[in-house]
Chains A and B, each alone.
Chain A
């Protein structure tokens, strides 16, 4: 039987990367995301002193989403502005797609990110949890503390918007 400390370390190893990615998607900033994820696992450490609930994965996700939302609602967050910094191109090996294909894919990716950023915060949360994290509609509703109908409504709008990035319409 794993001790509490070992259980915490196991949870950290399993979920840390996922939580950082989730926070980065919602906060738009890698360093902020890492900071938020750190706070999430700090909460986990405090909570792990109490009887362990079964669904840690959902618990961590809920705490992470709430953490991101709290940050975005804070007064100091509103005094920030977005800036962009192009990442260096990754070197392509001979097996990689042709430059034309890469260009098309690159534009497509940029469009997807651009349209994702245009979604409302709630739509981003719902879309990420459903199609990036892979939670079911009911689970997303539980994590966000909203009704299944509300999740469906936000999801439909988000999908409609996101498919515009690919030139499709639902």
Chain B
């Protein structure tokens, strides 16, 4: 065998394997013997280096617990879910629907209950319910003075009252309870 052995065969021979022909060639070939010696020297050197402590100490650092980020993510997701659901639930409440039933103003596009809509709601629904004219006998209630009457009275230095006669206005002003006892 005249051809030099391959690198793999050289390693095989170093490991004590290989054919008889390879071993004979290794013994006779200067080049292959030099390569084999170099291989053995390299492996010794590598083994020696690995037996010593590394120059740079390797440290394994524990990452923040992955589960914690999962928990945090899940908590945020649940909170967002509740927020969205809560908004939808508030939108479904009766009082938030009422302004849209009235034709006094356009319903809020975003579904938010605006202050003026709430005010309209109170005026239109709550106030009549609490101070129903039919329940109190509205026919007996005094009529409200008109704005013009108020203006005139203000100019005259007094308050108007349809129940008070002009001649009795001084009495009215002096004793407001006279209206209750008049009848």
Contact = CB atoms under 8 A, between A and B. Distances in A.
Interface of A: 21, 25, 27-30, 32, 76, 79-87, 106, 108-110, 112-113, 116, 128, 131-132, 137, 152, 155-156, 159-160, 162-163, 165-166, 168-170
A132 B47 contact: yes
B7 A128 contact: no
Given A82-B59, A113-B55, 19 more contacts: A27-B60, A28-B58, A29-B60, A30-B57, A81-B61, A82-B58, A82-B61, A84-B59, A85-B58, A85-B59, A87-B56, A109-B49, A112-B46, A112-B49, A131-B46, A131-B47, A152-B15, A155-B11, A165-B46
Interface string B141-178: 00000000000000000000000000000000000000
B26 interface: no
B139 interface: no
Given A156-B11, A170-B7, A112 B57 contact: no
Given A132-B51, A170-B39, A83 B59 contact: yes
B175 to A, nearest CB: 90
Interface of B: 7-8, 10-12, 15-17, 38-39, 42-43, 45-47, 49-63, 65-66
Given A86-B55, A162-B46, A165-B46, A81 B60 contact: yes
A86 B57 contact: yes
Contact of A137 (B15, B46, B58, B60): B15
A14 B61 CA distance: 31
A170 B61 CA distance: 36
Contact of B61 (A80, A152, A156, A163): A80
A137 B18 CA distance: 14
Please give me the 7 A-B residue pairs with the lowest Cβ-Cβ distance, nearest first.
Answer: A170-B7, A131-B47, A29-B60, A28-B58, A80-B60, A85-B57, A112-B49
Nearest to A163: B42
16 contacts: A32-B60, A81-B60, A81-B61, A84-B56, A84-B58, A109-B52, A109-B55, A112-B45, A113-B49, A116-B50, A155-B11, A155-B15, A156-B11, A159-B43, A169-B7, A170-B11
A156 B57 CA distance: 28
B11 A113 contact: no
Contacts of A110: 55-56
Nearest to A80: B60
A2 B69 CA distance: 54
B56 A168 contact: no
Nearest to A77: B60
Contact of B62 (A80, A159, A163): A80
A76 B10 CA distance: 42
Given A21-B51, A168-B38, A131 B43 contact: yes
Given A25-B50, A152-B15, A83 B55 contact: no
A87 B52 CA distance: 13
A99 to B, nearest CB: 15
Nearest to B51: A132
Nearest to A136: B16
A91 to B, nearest CB: 15
B60 A82 contact: yes
Contacts of A76: 62
